[in-house]
Amino acid sequence: MGRSRYKITQTDAPHFVTLTVLHWIPVFTRPQTVDILLESLRFLMKEGLKVHAYVILENH
């Protein structure tokens, strides 16, 4: 379930988003798992999401 209290109100400014994995479990240690995340990002970018930079850490 998403958090509805976080709403983007200033659409012309960049936003910083950070996500963590429950209990800091290192999920992104396998290239296959990272590929799923990257494919999702690429899809969203084709749909209009502007990504200026990203970092993928093992437990983030």
At 43 the pLDDT is 96
Q: How far is CA 17 from the centre of its chain?
A: 7
At 41 the pLDDT is 93
What pLDDT band is residue 53 in, cutting at 50, 70 and 90? very high
Q: Which residue has the higher pLDDT, 31 or 10?
A: 31
What pLDDT band is residue 44 in, cutting at 50, 70 and 90? very high
Domain ranges of the chain: 16-60
**Listed residue (27, 8, 4) closest to 16, CA to CA:** 8
Mean pLDDT of 27-38: 92
Q: Assess whether pLDDT exceeds 90 at residue 15.
A: no
Which residues 6+ apart lie within 8 Å of 41 measured at CB? 49, 51, 54
